[in-house]
Structures are given as C-alpha cells and as structure tokens.
Amino acid sequence: MPELPEVETVVRGLRASLPGCRIVDVRLGKTDFIENPVSLVEHLPGTRIAGISRLGKFVCVELIREGPAFNSDPRIFLLIHLGMTGQLTTRNPADAVAPHTHGFFSLDDGRELRYTDIRRFGRIFLVPESLLPAFRGRLGAEPLDIGEAEFNARLGSRRARIKALLLDQSVLRGLGNIYADESLFRARIHPARLGSRLTPRQLRALYRAIRQTLATAIRLRGSSISDYVDSNGNRGEFQLRHRVYQREGKPCVRCGATIRRVVVAGRSSFFCPHCQTVPRKRRTRSLAPTK
C-alpha cells in the first residue's frame, strides 16, 4: 500500500518526464472515488504540467492554465491519493490497459498518464491555488522535514496510543501501517504506549527511527507488498527489509523472540514482545508495604 516512500518514488518518476507536458484530453472510467469528475474533464485539458510534488501521501500535480482567460487564478493543483491499490503510470496509448484503470490523461507528447485502482480507495480532486494553503493546513507535518522539538510537541503531549498518532495524518503526514510498525520496532516502542508516556529518550529514538526508516525505504523505492508499483510499473524492494510488518509468528531479527500481531487503533500492529515491551497497566499503590 502506498505510503510516503512509495508516493515519493512515484512522484520522482513522474517528475522526470511530465513537467512541460500539456494535458490534451481526459477520459474517466468509474468515477465514484473522484470528488468532482466533471471538473477534471472541464478544467484539465489545455493545462500545462508545471511540477510534481508530494504532500504526505498525496501526489500533487501543479497545472497552469494558459491564455488570457485565466489571468486571475491560472494555477490549479491535481491531488491524487493512491489509497490502498492506486497506481499512477505513464504509458503509450497502444499499451494494454490494466483492469481497473479509471483515469486516462492524454499528453501532448503522445503519452498517457493512467490511474489504476483495484479497490478505488484512492481519491482524486482539484484544488485551486488559493485553497491549497487551507488544504495543506489540514495535514500534519512532513516527517522528514519536521524538527525534533516540534515532533516532541506533537506526539509527546498526546494521550492517544503512539500507533494511532503515527497513523493520524493531521499529526504527521505520510506514515501508514507499514512504516509506523517498522519505525516503532526500530525505536523499541510498543505500539499501544501512550504518546504522553514516552520518555525523552524514546521520543528521540522514534524521531530518528522514522527518518531512517523512511530514508532507507525511499532509497529502495518503497515496499511492494500487494499492488504497489512506481510510475514505470516497477516494484520496490523495501518489503525485503521489513523486520516486523506481516512477520507474525516469525523470529525477531534482533532477539529471536516470536513476532506478534495485535490490533491497535483498528489496525494490525506487528511488534516484538521482547524488544518492544508492553506498557505497564496503571498500578495502584498496593505494592507498597501495607505496614
């Protein structure tokens, strides 16, 4: 499933060849996951791709409407969330169309940008430039940009479980189930521990673990565990480095204990019960000698 490293890989691939191209035609299949399909067909043809970037798990395509009619607000942003099974690839029109392909964006150089999404958990919508800051404001901080002090403030003050906080896109933007679990393992923190119960040392370890995990995953072009492929249709390799994710019942690479799975924040959470100690239940003072 595409999380920050996968989306970053897709974005880098698209950035290598799309900027400068003009969108000449838009065709859509099923549109129940598209916020306003008519607006795509109306507004995209004729725009030029000025840049491709990533906002959390969103691919952000910067488009410029050229011509005198658009002097006031010429810039629009096409936001694409890949959901669970979304794929964004550049193809030639003659290439076979993969099943569940629901978006075709024809380019003036003859190629086609295609959106494929088996489960249609993705989202596609347009944001005018004037509304982009508001959209960005609803998302949390970029995990690779945030400083340690702000990281501590955002996570260390919260009484929710750390796993829930890592998955909450309004806290940090871009982490999903894989990288949350992998980062917690590397920081030796149990997923059910409360943010406010983390020690300064643990917060530091987590901050570093997230950065290191994401950086390595980007270097290996993401994790391909089900449908993920990059913009050229290639799979990533970070799934080979997973230490806990989907490794229930297997030995911990660090200590040999058996990896376990629990549900935290409604999500499967894989962890090593030896390396990531279970938070202690709150104790009453009954342990003190009664006399």
Partner DNA sequence: AGCTCTTCCTGAAAGC
Partner DNA sequence: TGCTTTCAGGAAGAGC
Binding residue for DNA (CB under 7 A) from 15, 48, 65, 100?
A: 100
CB of 46 to DNA, least distance (A): 29
Q: How far apart are CA 246 and CA 222, in angstroms?
A: 16
Q: Which amino acid is at 63?
A: L
Q: Is 118 in the site for DNA (CB under 7 A)?
A: yes
Task: Specify the residue, 57 or 186, whose C-beta has the smaller distance to DNA.
Answer: 57
Closest by CA to 223, choosing from 255, 172, 182, 262, is: 182
Binders of DNA: how many residues, by CB under 7 A?
A: 30
Interaction between residue 198 and DNA (CB under 7 A): no
265 binds DNA (CB under 7 A): yes
Rounded distance between C-alpha atoms, residue 260 and residue 251, angstroms: 10
Kindly report the length of the chain. Answer: 291
Q: Tokens at residue 86, please?
A: 């979304």
**Least Å distance between CB 133 and DNA?**
16
Q: Measured from the CB atom, is 49 or 176 closer to DNA?
A: 176
Active-site annotation holds for 42? no
* 84 makes contact with DNA (CB under 7 A): yes
**Residue among 229, 6, 33 at smallest CA distance from 122:** 33
The Cα–Cα gap between 216 and 34 comes to 32
Is 3 annotated in the active site?
A: yes
Under 8 Å between Cβ of 64 and 22: no
Proportion of the chain in helix, strand, coil states, percent, rounded to 5: 30, 25, 45
User: In the bound complex, what is the minimum distance in angstroms from residue 50's beta carbon to DNA?
Assistant: 25
**Shortest Cβ 263–DNA spacing (Å):** 8
Name which of 237, 233, 256, 258 is nearest 247 in CA terms: 258
CA nearest to 114, candidates 4, 178, 23: 23
DSSP 12: H
Question: C-alpha angle 159/163/168, rounded to 5°?
Answer: 80
Point out the catalytic residue in the list 8, 37, 57, 193: 57
Minimum Å gap between C-beta 241 and DNA is 17
Stretch touching DNA by CB under 7 A, among 11-19, 208-216, 234-242, 259-267:
259-267
Helix ranges (DSSP H) in 141-176: 148-156, 162-167
Q: Which of positions 43-72 make contact with DNA (CB under 7 A)?
A: 56-57
To the query of whether residue 204 is one of the catalytic residues in this protein, the response is: no
> Among 261, 267, 273, 279, which one carries the catalytic annotation?
267
Site for DNA in 7-46 (CB under 7 A): 32
Residues 152-191 within binding reach of DNA (CB under 7 A): 158-161, 164, 167, 169, 176-178
Is 267 catalytic? The answer is yes
Q: Which residues form the catalytic set?
A: 2-3, 57, 267
- Residues that bind DNA in the complex, under the rule CB under 7 A: 1, 3, 32, 56-57, 81, 83-84, 99-100, 118-121, 158-161, 164, 167, 169, 176-178, 194-195, 265-268
